[in-house]
Chains A and B, each alone.
Chain A
Amino acid sequence: MSRQWWAALVFVAALALLPLGASDYLLSALTLVFIAALVGIAWNLMMGFAGQLSLGHALYFGVGAYTVAILAERYGVTPWIGMGIAFAAGAAIALLIGALGFRFAVRGVYFALLTIAFAEFGRIVFEHWSFVGGTGGFYLKALSATNVPLISLRGGARFNYYALLVTLTFAWWLSVAVVRSAIGYRWRAIRDDEDAARALGVPAFRLKLLAVALSGGLTAIAGGWSGLIGGSLFPDSVLGMRLSIDFIVAPIVGGIGTLFGPILGAFIVVPLNEWSRELAQAAGINGLNLLIYGVLLMAVIIVAPQGGWPWIARRLGLVERVPCRPGEQARNGVAIAASDSTTGDTHGQTSGRTQGQTPSRAQGQTSDRATQ
């Protein structure tokens, strides 16, 4: 086993032993961190590895939350099955959006804005759909005395903590497996230069759809858990734009295109968010939390635009290979699929504007813009 696997094992073991000496409050807070990390991993599969920027992940999250909650509450379907259906629903919607976008060559920023449009569309539909409770929200019944957490998947803080820890570990393992498989390498080839990848015979359309579907499905599962834990669902709080933004912040702060970045990011961003909210409440000043959160966000992205994980990974000696310098890739203009992002490669600079700054912009300016 490599050092990375040992590090991951130690980390999970530490988290698994934590409830022995932690308060319920801390456990609930960490559960929120796990949910954010789960979505971060899902989002990162799509953005960090396949290079497709989504700004509408709240849609999958909300659909998953409503699916699990409504199936359990109205039809008595156990969330064990509900989670599967939520995964399928999230993946199906993601497939639809992806297919529409990719088939019609909606790329880069246009694709990102398409995902926002669908997410907001979804939120408005849910707000006006009486079956799901509309703006009034949808509520789960209080837990009965005969509740068996392992059947209803609803329990106290400790149960939720372990449930999410298990889900998160599984999702992380899944992302490692996919990213290190041939699929993962092809994703990175698409991310770095889609046209070059296609010229080499990579089936870009299908692989992008796979990334989008997997990402949407995992996000829906996170949403399902969030609904079961929270007990109440409102379109604005599980499908809103603000949520989509919170989702992307954690993986970016942690380090996009790295396997551990989303988890690190969630551990940084969620406590910051909660802490600033509590501070604003204690001070009785509305909006103070947004101010603090915004300033911290800007500070983090100014200080560490690559995210925190690449930096930490180097300190801990978890980097196996020296990442190639971004400038070289940009100059070559070819996808270097072998640059293993899992070890802290800086995806940030391999694509996007860097190419725009090279002479290629002068001649091939139109193609540059399309890829952005």
Chain B
Amino acid sequence: MTEATPIVLPNMAARRVAGIARAIVRTALFALIIVWSAFPILYIVVSSFKQQKEIFKYPPDIIFTPTFEHYAALATKWTGFFPTMGNSLIVAVGATILACVASILSGFVYSRYANRFLAGSVLYLIAIRLLPPIVVTLPLFPVVDALKLSDTHLVLIILYATFWVSLCTMIMKTFIDKIPRTLDEAAVVDGATTMQTLVRVIMPLALQGIAACAIFVFVFAWNEYLFALIFTTQHAKTAPLIISEVMDAVSGTNWGVLFAGVTVQLLPVTLLVMLAQRFLIAGLTAGSVKG
């Protein structure tokens, strides 16, 4: 604006009222966001510490004497639970390691090497993520069976890692791109091999990206349902699968035990996600915006 604006004395009182109203609305909206995000989860966690008869009381008690009986009953009343938690842990750790190793290697190549084939295959990495994964279950099902891989940890590890390698490769490429090339050139001058350069120079500087990839894959593998449903029946069954089975069959006095089991399943990963938010946000922006 170039013309002189007339000076109006601001109505201080009206402004203050408007400011206070704004602050109240904002606080209310933040409160709503907290309730929306946390209430369903806290509802399960809190219910797992309630006595059976208190769980479905309406209106629910906010203050009550906590009981640990459902946790004590987990091992005896729900014998399948802890073995499936073990399976979930094996599968999630395995998939995380496989996806991270593969994408650190390929992310390094995509960042440091130039080739026409390489440039073209970036598009392929992005495009392949558009395919709905359920489609590949149909041809894989008989192959997995023939290879005697059905109901093993390995099949889930390979599947889960594959669903994430393309995104993780893009994340690793973005993080490695930020490391100055002069550092790896210096390492080569000092006589380091490509592998030594990657492990000693690149990886320590790309830890944030590795952490982001690891969290994405771990959370996904820990929680996945559809592929566990199709490819496991007994030995490699994961925790989400047994929770879904018990959820449909549960009755009477077992709700508390189910809630205790669900709490054990969700708490470690929820805490991981809450504590590692920095890496998640960095990884999301690196992977999605660039990829």
Same complex origin of A and B: no
Residues of A bordering B, CB below 8 Å:
none
